């Protein structure tokens, strides 16, 4: 019985419409997966010997241990956004004579077979092997690796338990960032002290029982959770909450665009997928923290690169799916007496607004130097003037519909991702870097900043002309887009 | 009001629709019947420029539908649930449609009062998004929204499907009342021969994309249709 449940899962995968997506996309996604797998593997192989060489007086493994908590937090966030529970098909099994326990066990086991759960093998296993070669006992290495694998899998269950609860995630992220910042600047050990646990794991391998009991405990809690909720009214099925009757009348000042802006705001607030994307774009604000503090990254290439991302998070994530956000009711829109120009203009305004907000929110980056903030500012100009249009152009060519109220599936999800779009990402990343870098190399960095900013200002000056071209493209693609969006 | 000339729609080597000539005069209630795949929705989609014709043209109120977009000023339609915005409440949806047709919220509120009976207290003030309504209630919203802004052409694909019996009868009365307006051209498709012969004064029968029968509705029409479909 259980094997037939697995077979259904396999068929669902093999017969999914995504699998029939264009061949190029499959290759692209394959490359992306290979890239990440390769990076993890590379990190796993290289990190231990590299650290041993660099820090002679410290244990390489205890440095790694002190960073594990960061990796786990990152893993949790990524899984939260991208990992999908295989629960969608539960509904049809509820009426068949299969014991509930078996269905749940199957769901839980199947949730373990995801791309994320190979991380322990790619990242931690090579480290373990390096440790073994470095005179650690097999029992120590084994305890260490098994503990990490079990904790990684525990995160898998935590993801299920917090499923769809954005408040829990937001609290977690905020607390985590707060603790991290405090630790970074006050030289106290809060997060890093968790490393001591992994250190003692090596001293007393028997401690592996602790992660093991966490894993088992979470398994049973999740099991119970699903058992209570596995009915048509439980939390697995989308809830019908009370509608939020906010009228957003403050947007009326933006007439005649208010109509579309209001709808876009409702779209974002009331649907799972756009909400997650906006939350994710908020995280882009912290992108600079990864680059600016460390001296090695203060290179000419990475600073403009990071600056574009800090203010462009929403732009990239939202703009790529215009008009796919409206795909569920696209035929309706195309029958209405609406001005395409106003429609696209309001999307532009929304993105511009997001860039402006991010620019204000990124003021704290002045801490790293006025130069860096000026870079962010000229990046913001570029984003408003050109970034928006490049993203919109890519979005208009996108022919994959979006399901609004469903979570995105990682890697399996080639929906809303096309080869053309992939090509559109390149100019978005490379163009601003070149616009800054070339004049900065030939003259000086001030000229670079001015060039980058004025390219954006040009885009704003010629907004009307660009918008007209966008409308032309929009009309030209109308029937093809309609056909693609209405295909079920 | 609507004229089509040698209209065809071909998918690959399959002809989905091929109509030599069809004229729908202003004020007519035009009923379209046919089995699945006969081309009813294809015809409506062509009228709304949702798909491109393989050949031929459609002239609606002197406007070539495939060329100008002016027809949107006087045309409204409800084809399927892709004509609803799932994350809006019914009120917000009506307001949205209203503002696209230049009608403000107060007028919409007034307009909706006239449909209180049709809604049967199941639509307004429910504090629910459209996606959470039942199929039947969703359809009620979509149908009423087509009447906003006094359009001259209304296209309804399968308006009776999914409605409960009471609402079906109310809808028939509603369509009757609408068709008294001699400026309004109504195009309706349905699988329900009873309903369609009751509300339409002309019936066109499609089969495999071609017009098989085209008649003014008389007392005999229902019997003729039933004979055709049971043969």
Asked if B51 lies within 8 A of A338 by C-beta distance, the reply is no
Q: Which residue has the higher pLDDT, A233 or A293?
A: A293
Asked if A266 lies within 8 A of B77 by C-beta distance, the reply is no
Asked if A332 lies within 8 A of B83 by C-beta distance, the reply is yes
Highest mean pLDDT among A55-59, A206-210, A288-292, B165-169: B165-169
Beta carbons within 10 angstroms of residue A199's beta carbon: 14
The SS3 of residue B219 is: coil
Contact with chain B for residue A256, Cβ under 8 A: no
Whole-number pLDDT of residue A241: 59
**pTM confidence score:** 0.73
Tens-digit pLDDT profile for residues A365-399:
888 888 889 989 999 999 999 999 998 988 888 87
Q: Which residue has the higher pLDDT, A106 or A425?
A: A106
Cβ–Cβ under 8 Å, residues A198 and A144 = yes
Q: Which pLDDT band, with edges at 50, 70 and 90, does A57 fall under?
A: confident
> Mean pLDDT for chain A?
80
- State mean pLDDT over A303-329: 86
Tens-digit pLDDT profile for residues B162-219:
999 999 999 999 999 999 989 999 999 999 999 999 999 999 999 999 999 999 999 8
Q: Hey, what are B184's tokens?
A: 């309004």
Q: Which pLDDT band, with edges at 50, 70 and 90, does A339 fall under?
A: confident
- B contacts of A404 (beta carbons < 8 Å): 86-87
Asked if A328 lies within 8 A of B86 by C-beta distance, the reply is yes
- B contacts of A479 (beta carbons < 8 Å): 50-52
Q: What percent of chain B has pLDDT over 90?
A: 84
Whole-number pLDDT of residue A128: 87
Tens-digit pLDDT profile for residues B10-19:
998 899 999 9
- State mean pLDDT over A287-302: 67
Whole-number pLDDT of residue A417: 47
Residue B93 has pLDDT above 90, yes or no: yes
Nearest CB neighbour to B73, from listed A242, A337, A483: A337
Residue A180 has pLDDT above 90, yes or no: no
Contact with chain B for residue A331, Cβ under 8 A: yes
Residue A255 has pLDDT above 70, yes or no: yes
Q: What percent of chain A has pLDDT over 70?
A: 81
> Mean pLDDT for chain B?
92
Mutate to test the interface with B, among A273, A275, A329 (most CBs of B within 10 A): A329
Tens-digit pLDDT profile for residues A350-373:
999 999 999 999 888 888 888 889
Contact with chain B for residue A250, Cβ under 8 A: no
Task: Kindly report the nearest CA distance between residue A385 and chain B, in angstroms.
Answer: 29
- State mean pLDDT over A288-315: 75
Nearest CB neighbour to B48, from listed A330, A335, A486: A335
- Of the listed ranges A83-92, A255-264, B46-55, the least confidently predicted one is A83-92
Q: Which pLDDT band, with edges at 50, 70 and 90, does A421 fall under?
A: low
Name the residue among A436, A427, A295, A424 with its Cα closest to residue A379.
A436
Q: Which residue has the higher pLDDT, B83 or A105?
A: B83
Tens-digit pLDDT profile for residues A453-474:
999 999 999 999 999 999 999 9
Per this entry, what is the length of chain B?
A: 231
The phi, psi pair for B24, rounded to 5°, reads -115, 110
Nearest CB neighbour to B77, from listed A242, A335, A337: A335
Task: Kindly report the nearest CA distance between residue A416 and chain B, in angstroms.
Answer: 18
- State mean pLDDT over A12-35: 62
Tens-digit pLDDT profile for residues A98-150:
777 887 887 788 777 777 788 778 888 888 888 888 888 888 888 888 888 89
The phi, psi pair for B78, rounded to 5°, reads -135, 110
Cβ–Cβ under 8 Å, residues A451 and A439 = yes
Asked if A335 lies within 8 A of B100 by C-beta distance, the reply is no
Contact with chain B for residue A486, Cβ under 8 A: yes
ipTM of this predicted structure: 0.92
């Amino acid at each position: 019985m259980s094997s037939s449940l697995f077979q259904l899962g396999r068929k669902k995968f093999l017969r999914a419409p995504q699998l029939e997506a264009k061949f190029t996309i499959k290759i692209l996604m394959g490359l992306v997966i290979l890239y990440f797998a390769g990076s993890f593997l590379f990190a796993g192989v290289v990190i231990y010997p590299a650290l041993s060489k660099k820090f002679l007086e410290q244990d390489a493994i205890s440095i790694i241990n002190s960073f594990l908590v960061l990796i786990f937090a990152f893993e949790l966030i990524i899984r939260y956004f991208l990992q999908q529970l295989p629960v969608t098909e539960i509904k049809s099994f509820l009426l068949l004579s299969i014991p509930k326990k078996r269905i749940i066990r199957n769901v839980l086991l199947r949730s373990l077979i995801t791309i994320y759960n190979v991380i322990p093998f790619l990242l931690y296993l090579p480290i373990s092997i390096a440790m073994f070669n470095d005179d650690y006992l097999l029992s120590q290495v084994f305890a260490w690796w098994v503990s990490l694998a079990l904790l990684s899998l525990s995160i898998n269950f935590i993801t299920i338990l917090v499923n769809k609860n954005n408040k829990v995630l937001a609290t977690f992220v905020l607390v985590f960032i707060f603790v991290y910042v405090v630790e970074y600047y006050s030289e106290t050990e809060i997060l890093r002290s968790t490393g001591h646990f992994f250190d003692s794991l090596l001293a007393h391998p028997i401690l592996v029982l602790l992660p093991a009991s966490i894993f088992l405990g979470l398994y049973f809690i999740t099991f119970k959770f699903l058992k209570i909720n596995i009915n048509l009214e439980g939390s697995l099925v989308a809830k019908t909450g009370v509608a939020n009757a906010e009228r957003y009348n403050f947007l009326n000042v933006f007439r005649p665009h208010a109509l579309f802006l209001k709808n876009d705001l409702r779209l974002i607030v009331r649907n799972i997928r756009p909400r997650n994307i906006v939350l994710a774009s908020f995280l882009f604000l912290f992108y600079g923290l990864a680059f600016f503090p460390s001296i090695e990254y203060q290179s000419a290439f990475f600073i403009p690169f990071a600056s574009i991302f800090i203010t462009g998070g929403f732009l990239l994530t939202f703009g790529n799916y215009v008009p796919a956000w409206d795909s569920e009711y696209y035929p309706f829109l195309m029958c209405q007496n609406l001005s395409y120009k106003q429609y696209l203009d309001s999307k532009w305004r929304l993105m511009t607004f997001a860039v402006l907000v991010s620019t204000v929110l990124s003021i704290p980056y002045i801490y790293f130097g006025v130069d860096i903030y000026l870079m962010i500012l000229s990046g913001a100009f570029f984003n408003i003037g050109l970034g928006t249009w490049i993203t919109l152009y890519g979005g208009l060519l996108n022919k994959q519909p979006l399901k609004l109220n469903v979570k995105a599936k990682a890697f399996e999800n080639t929906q809303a991702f096309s080869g053309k779009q992939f090509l559109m990402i390149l100019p978005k990343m490379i163009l601003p870097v070149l616009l800054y870098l070339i004049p900065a190399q030939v003259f000086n960095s001030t000229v670079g900043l001015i060039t980058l900013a004025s390219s954006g200002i040009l885009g704003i000056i010629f907004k009307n002309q660009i918008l007209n071209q966008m409308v032309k493209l929009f009309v030209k693609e109308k029937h093809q887009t309609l056909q693609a969006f209405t295909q079920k | 009001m609507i004229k089509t000339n040698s209209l065809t729609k071909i998918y690959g080597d399959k002809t989905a629709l091929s109509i030599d000539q069809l004229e729908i005069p202003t004020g007519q209630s035009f009923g379209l019947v046919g089995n699945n795949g006969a081309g009813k929705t294809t015809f409506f989609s062509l009228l709304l420029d949702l798909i491109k014709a393989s050949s031929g043209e459609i002239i609606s109120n002197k406007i070539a539908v495939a060329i100008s977009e002016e027809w949107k000023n006087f045309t409204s339609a409800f084809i399927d649930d892709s004509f609803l915005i799932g994350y809006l409440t019914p009120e917000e949806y009506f307001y949205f449609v209203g503002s696209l047709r230049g009608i403000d919220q107060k007028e919409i509120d007034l307009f909706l009062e006239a449909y209180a009976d049709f809604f049967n207290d199941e639509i307004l003030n429910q504090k629910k998004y459209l996606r959470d309504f039942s199929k039947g209630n969703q359809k009620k919203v979509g149908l009423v929204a087509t009447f906003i802004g006094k359009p001259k052409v209304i296209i309804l694909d399968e308006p009776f499907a999914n409605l409960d019996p009471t609402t079906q009868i109310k809808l028939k009365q509603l369509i009757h009342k609408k068709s008294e307006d001699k400026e309004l051209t109504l195009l309706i498709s349905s699988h329900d021969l009873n309903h369609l012969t009751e509300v339409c004064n002309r019936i066109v029968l499609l089969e495999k994309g071609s017009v098989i029968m085209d008649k003014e509705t008389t007392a005999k029409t229902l019997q003729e249709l039933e004979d055709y479909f049971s043969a």
